[in-house]
Chain A
Amino acid sequence: MVITQPAAPGPAIRLDDLTKTFGPLHAVSGLTLEVAAGQVFGFLGPNGAGKSTTIRMIMGLSAPSSGTATVLGTDAWDDGPGVRARIGYLAGELALPPRLTGDAILGWTARARNVENRSRRHELAERFQADLRRPVGTLSKGNRQKIGIIRAFEHDPELLVLDEPTSGLDPLLQKQFDDLLAETVQRGRTVFLSSHELDEVQRVAHNIAIIRGGELVLADTVSALRARAPRSVELTFSAPVDKAEFDALPGVQVLGQQNGRLVLAVSGEVGPLLEAAASHHAIDILARPADLDVLFRSFYRAPQEVPVAR
């Protein structure tokens, strides 16, 4: 039986003007963000965007240059030990002592965290088919990652901070991981998940933030983003048409043209587009649902002014 617990009041994580500099380099600049309790929050960004630096400040591993990271109601840096007892953490670059077995590593972590009940460890090990008896130095990256996941979830923390958690996992285990996340938030826990895998985040997260160059460029719910994301429409005509006419339509951008075929990105109403297509005697139309990848990639690439929505 799954016991659903209410999420704790107040945000699980609140970042206020969080900044981290290394000499002249601004790794994170004025990051302000709230992660509501009881959800999966996807934290996206290209490599070097500042995701791991932000996570290290959330975990109290690194002091902010300015601003604050408030985690479960307490300051992550000033009240580190108290708040870390309530967090499960998986580092982006998981490093485990190579000569120890998974059992030894998990046993050590459990003792250090005063976790006496081993049943959850066994349950998770079975679920992910983790080999806990061999030295981790002999395991593949995916099998080591399983140990990291078990360690993060074993003490049933209120908040999980996971940096690239499915790195190295095969698709079947990724599905297991997605299910585990869903069960975790159903029980009132919060998951803060960093990734550069766009597909993974849009699959599991309720809310998403994108960081680029240390700055927040987008924060919104997945459903709102999906509504805003452009649909892909392909029109086929019996003869070539003037693409400028279609480019001028509101919410329409011509992505490509080949003979009588036009590839368009369409956001907003499709009425004007359909009228224009009909006037040119379109012979075929192919429309694809909104793809967040297209939207995400636009935020990943060229710097642009994007209003931050919550």
Chain B
Amino acid sequence: MLGDISRLDLRLRRQSSIAYAVGVTAYALLIVVLYPTFRVDTSLNKLTEGDSSLSALFGATGSLTSPDGWMNANLYANFLPLFVLFMTIGYGASAVAGQNEDGTLGDVAVLPRTRAAVLLEKVATLSLLSLPVPLLCLVASLAGHHWQVDLAVGALIGTTIGVALLGVNLGLVALAWGSWTGRRGGALGVATGLAAVSYIVSSLAPVVSWIHPLRFYSLFYWAVGDDQLVNGLSAPGVAVLLSSAVALGAVAWRGFQQLDIR
């Protein structure tokens, strides 16, 4: 699936992606290294006492001095998904709509390839771009063992997969919107808006009763919002994230079939 089109897109993002991944990894390592300083600070847990809506909004629930609570509140429940979404929504909006707006999609579309083959390469590139940041954060978290950040490896790997799949899904929202409309701005706006709503539903579900039943509609919930760092990624979670990705890919494919390319 990774052909010439994928290689070109990856090549054009190589420098920025490496720089971005290095920056995020530095942040993840900082969080890990800071943990011993805060693990004995019991006042930290006052932030989440009484099911505070405000702390829930920032992805902090339960104990913040436990390794999983610390990593969830500072990385996995909020920043890491955000970092991945920057990459995947950005690429999803650019891969079809952005390239069509700046006129370079035509170079690809005049190759002897079907549109389905072109889109498949775009999806493959999107999937690949969703991986480096979660994987580097996984490595940083595993290295956290030396700083008393002891996390269940299986759950950590599951959460890493969940974050990557979340990124792929919301990147596909941008890709699908861009494939139907050819508008990068709209693709960015819709995918970002959906991500924000999905995050708020997932993060407030534990503390706001009327939002609680809505959590099943949130991709964040299935990826990182259900204590995945402790329990691992659930089978229903994998099924939801994979099936929604397939459905979004099909919507993008249908839109790309009819798109007028410049």
- Asked if A61 and B112 make an inter-chain contact with CB atoms under 8 angstroms apart, the answer reads no
When C-beta atoms are compared, the residue in chain A nearest to B258 turns out to be: A63
- Asked if A61 and B8 make an inter-chain contact with CB atoms under 8 angstroms apart, the answer reads no
Contact with B along A74-92 (1 / 0, CB 8 A): 0000001110110101010
CB-CB under 8 A from B11, the residues of chain A are 100
CB-CB under 8 A from A59, the residues of chain B are 106, 109-110
CB-CB under 8 A from A94, the residues of chain B are 103
- Asked if B112 and A84 make an inter-chain contact with CB atoms under 8 angstroms apart, the answer reads yes
Considering the chains assembled together, what is the distance between the CA atoms of A93 and B107 in angstroms? 11
- Asked if A62 and B260 make an inter-chain contact with CB atoms under 8 angstroms apart, the answer reads yes
Considering the chains assembled together, what is the distance between the CA atoms of A253 and B91 in angstroms? 62
| B247 → chain A closest CB, angstroms | 24
- Asked if B110 and A112 make an inter-chain contact with CB atoms under 8 angstroms apart, the answer reads no
When C-beta atoms are compared, the residue in chain B nearest to A59 turns out to be: B110
Determine if B243 is an interface residue (Cβ-Cβ < 8 Å): no
Determine if A297 is an interface residue (Cβ-Cβ < 8 Å): no
CB-CB under 8 A from B5, the residues of chain A are 112
Q: List 5 A-B contacts (CB under 8 A).
A: A56-B262, A108-B7, A108-B8, A111-B4, A113-B112
Q: Give me the interface of A with B, judged by CB distance under 8 Å.
A: 56, 59-63, 80-82, 84-85, 87, 89, 91, 93-97, 99-100, 108-109, 111-113
CB < 8 Å: which of A63, A96, A97, A113 contacts B111? A113
- Asked if B112 and A82 make an inter-chain contact with CB atoms under 8 angstroms apart, the answer reads yes
When C-beta atoms are compared, the residue in chain A nearest to B5 turns out to be: A112
When C-beta atoms are compared, the residue in chain B nearest to A91 turns out to be: B106
When C-beta atoms are compared, the residue in chain B nearest to A94 turns out to be: B103
Considering the chains assembled together, what is the distance between the CA atoms of A299 and B4 in angstroms? 45
| B111 → chain A closest CB, angstroms | 5
| B14 → chain A closest CB, angstroms | 10
- Asked if B110 and A95 make an inter-chain contact with CB atoms under 8 angstroms apart, the answer reads no
CB-CB under 8 A from B117, the residues of chain A are 81
When C-beta atoms are compared, the residue in chain A nearest to B101 turns out to be: A95
Considering the chains assembled together, what is the distance between the CA atoms of A194 and B5 in angstroms? 28
CB-CB under 8 A from B112, the residues of chain A are 81-82, 84-85, 113
| A238 → chain B closest CB, angstroms | 62
- Asked if A93 and B262 make an inter-chain contact with CB atoms under 8 angstroms apart, the answer reads yes
Considering the chains assembled together, what is the distance between the CA atoms of A245 and B110 in angstroms? 59
Considering the chains assembled together, what is the distance between the CA atoms of A62 and B115 in angstroms? 12
- Asked if B260 and A56 make an inter-chain contact with CB atoms under 8 angstroms apart, the answer reads yes
Please give 8 more A-B residue pairs, beta carbons under 8 A apart, in addition to A84-B112, A108-B4, A108-B7.
Answer: A59-B110, A62-B261, A87-B110, A93-B262, A97-B104, A99-B12, A100-B12, A113-B111
